[in-house]
Every structure is written in structure tokens, then in C-alpha cells.
């Protein structure tokens, strides 16, 4: 009987542990999702910053490609901010949900700047490219300053 109880308890412990490992909550999945989206955006923006700072050679095709990738990624941000999804290593501030309209307007401002980035990337006017990379970085930062934990 003792042995039977031990087996039952062990099975119960395994079931709980297995479930915790296998199933991320929706909130955890949302954090991982938006971190992935931001990672892709940052990966693609980095070389554009490098090019306008003349730290890496200018390549118009890479510039256009990366700007278009950012344009495709930015609309994916919002859906990652499901309610109460500040869990794990999330750097999101809960204020996002208290100021949802402002948060959304900052996302919209970023979209506007990235759309302009794609437009100027058709040309090779380094001054225009530099200005628009700057404006895009500012739009990223506007949200980070207010809604991302340090």
C-alpha cells in the first residue's frame, strides 16, 4: 500500500512538472512573440544605422531590403501586447495598458517613419537616408523611454 501511494504521488508530481514545462501560458507566449518581433526589427535596423554612420559600406539593396522587412514587422508588434502580459523577463511597463491609446499612437508614429524609410531607400541621397534613420530611431526610442523598463 505504501508503495502504491509512492507511485501515485510520483505520477502526480510528474504530471504537474510536465505540464509546467510543456505549456507556456498565453502571456508567456506573447512576451516571447514580441521579443522575437523586436529582435528581427533590431537585427534589420542595425546595418542601416551602421551605413548612415559610415561604419559599414553603403549597400542600397541591403538598405531597401531591411527597411521593407521593418515595414512588414512593425504591424506585428501590437498583437503581442495581450492584457496582463508582463511576465518572466518582459521589459514592458504595465502603463502600456493604462495608456493604450498613447501606446498605439506611438506604434503608429513608428509605422509612419518606417514607411518613409522605405520611400527614401529607393534613392541614394545619404543626407535623406541619414535623416530618416534618425527619425526612425527616435520613434523607437519614444516608446522605450516611456513604456520599457530600464
Contact residues for ligand ASC, defined by CB under 6 A: 42, 45-46, 49, 137, 140-141
User: 34 and 80 in contact (C-beta within 8 Å)?
Assistant: yes
Could you tell me the smallest distance in angstroms from the CB atom of residue 42 to ligand ASC?
3
Q: Which is nearer to ligand ASC, 29 or 137 (CB)?
A: 137
CB of 8 to ligand ASC, least distance (A): 51
Cβ 11 to ligand ASC, closest distance in Å? 46
> Based on CB atoms, which residue is closest to ligand ASC, 38 or 85?
38
**Nearest CB to ligand ASC, comparing residues 24 and 65:** 65
CB of 12 to ligand ASC, least distance (A): 45
Complex with ligand ASC: residue 30 or 114, whichever CB lies closer: 114
CA neighbours closer than 13 Å in the CB half-sphere of residue 34: 21
What residues contact 102, with CB distance under 8 A and at least 6 apart?
A: 146
Quote the Cα angle for 97-138-128, to 5°: 145
Q: Which of 68, 69, 74, 128 is nearest to 104 (CA)?
A: 74
| CA distances, 24 to each of 30, 32, 36, 70 (Å) | 10, 10, 16, 27
Nearer to ligand ASC, 18 or 46 (CB): 46
What the block records as the C-alpha cell of 15 is: 504530471
**Nearest distance in Å: CB 136, ligand ASC:** 8
Amino acid at each position: 500500500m505504501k508503495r502504491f501511494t509512492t507511485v501515485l504521488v510520483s505520477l502526480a508530481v510528474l504530471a504537474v512538472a510536465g505540464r509546467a514545462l510543456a505549456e507556456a501560458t498565453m502571456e508567456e507566449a506573447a512576451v516571447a512573440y514580441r521579443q522575437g518581433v523586436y529582435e528581427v526589427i533590431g537585427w534589420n535596423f542595425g546595418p542601416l544605422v551602421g551605413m548612415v554612420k559610415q561604419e559599414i559600406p553603403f549597400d542600397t539593396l541591403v538598405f531597401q531590403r531591411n527597411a521593407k522587412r521593418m515595414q512588414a514587422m512593425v504591424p506585428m508588434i501590437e498583437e503581442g501586447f495581450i492584457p496582463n502580459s508582463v511576465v518572466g523577463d518582459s521589459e514592458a511597463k504595465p502603463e502600456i495598458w493604462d495608456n493604450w491609446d498613447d501606446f498605439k499612437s506611438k506604434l503608429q508614429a513608428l509605422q509612419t517613419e518606417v514607411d518613409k524609410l522605405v520611400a527614401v531607400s529607393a534613392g541614394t541621397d545619404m543626407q535623406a537616408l541619414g535623416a530618416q534613420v534618425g527619425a526612425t530611431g527616435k520613434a523607437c526610442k519614444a516608446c522605450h523611454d516611456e513604456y520599457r523598463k530600464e
